[in-house]
Amino acid sequence: MERIVLYQGDITEMHVDAIVNAANKSLLGGGGVDGAIHRAAGPKLLDECKKLDGCETGKAKITEAYRLACRYVIHAVGPVWYGGKNNEEEMLASAYRNSLQLAADKKLESIAFPNISTGVYRFPKKLAAEIAIKTVRAFLDKESSLEQLFFCVFDDENFEIYEGLLS
Ligand code: APR
């Protein structure tokens, strides 16, 4: 069975063990998928996030999911794109890797990623997709507990990019 699945839709509705949030360093919510996840989870998510004391770029922290359909939310902080000379590629790979590691530490079986950094943070979508797929494949090669990994794309552009790269 293919462990990597492309899915187009709203990540807040996914019945997986963990969904990943494209958060900012404050972990206090925002717009985009961060806003959607906090709206769907309810105010208790923000209460828990307030206790986490933020998160560095490239790293991730895990919380409960409250009213969401999933069990956990992994808040990953991707890099803002400043043109590619600011270690953005490594920071994006690190955000995916650290999210996967948190899921593996809890022996989770399924996880869904949004297209981290490709919205407000303006990371080029195709490059981000290449980094995401390469990082995930390398991790899945050495990690067994994760049985299904969903790339949850929201817009058609990202769907086409991932469909092309994954086929
Ligand atoms: N489900 C899945 N994907 C979504 C959803 C949703 N409900 N809503 C938006 N997206 C997609 C966007 O279309 C984009 O492809 O998530 C991707 C990431 O875009 P952003 O949410 O803008 O995240 P990012 O570019 O990483 O910027 C993070 O934005 O919302 C703020 O607080 C957040 O400051 C942080 C910054």
Going from the C-alpha of 163 to that of each of 4, 13, 34, 56, 130, the distances in angstroms are 12, 21, 24, 31, 12
Taking residue 102's Cβ as centre, other Cβ atoms within 10 Å add up to: 21
Q: What is the mean pLDDT of residues 37-45?
A: 98
pLDDT at position 144? 74
How many A from CA of 116 to the centre of ligand 1? 7
The atom number, within ligand 1, closest to the CA of 22 reads 26
Which protein residue's CA is at the shortest distance from atom 24 of ligand 1?
117
C-alpha span between 5 and 133 (Å, rounded): 11
**Closest CA to ligand 1's atom 9:** 33
Whether this prediction's pTM lies above 0.85 is answered by yes
Atom of ligand 1 nearest to the CA of 78: 26
**CA–CA dist 44, 98 (Å, integer):** 24
DSSP per-residue string spanning the chain: --SEEEEES-GGG--SSEEEEEE-TT-S--SHHHHHHHHHH-HHHHHHHHTTT---TT-EEEEE-TTSSSSEEEEEEPPPPSSS-SSHHHHHHHHHHHHHHHHHHTT-SEEEE--TTSSTT---HHHHHHHHHHHHHHHHHH--S--EEEEEE-SHHHHHHHHHHH-
Annotation marks residue 34 as catalytic: yes
Q: Is the pLDDT of residue 160 over 60?
A: yes
Question: Nearest C-alpha to atom 19 of ligand 1 is from which residue?
Answer: 119
Residue 10 CB neighbours (<10 A): 14
Nearest in space to 117 (alpha carbons), one of 157, 61, 78, 90: 78
- Ligand 1 neighbours, Cβ below 6 Å, are 10-12, 22-24, 30-36, 78, 114-121, 152, 154-155, 158
Dump pLDDT digits (tens) for 83-138: 999 999 999 999 999 999 999 999 999 999 999 999 999 999 999 999 999 999 99
Statement: residue 1 has pLDDT above 80: no
**Residue range 4-35, pLDDT digits in tens:** 999 999 999 999 999 999 999 999 999 999 99
Domain regions of the chain by residue span: 4-166
**Of all protein residues, whose CA lies closest to atom 18 belonging to ligand 1?**
119
Could you please state the CATH topology (level 3) that the domain comprising 4-166 is classified under: Leucine Aminopeptidase, subunit E; domain 1 (3.40.220)
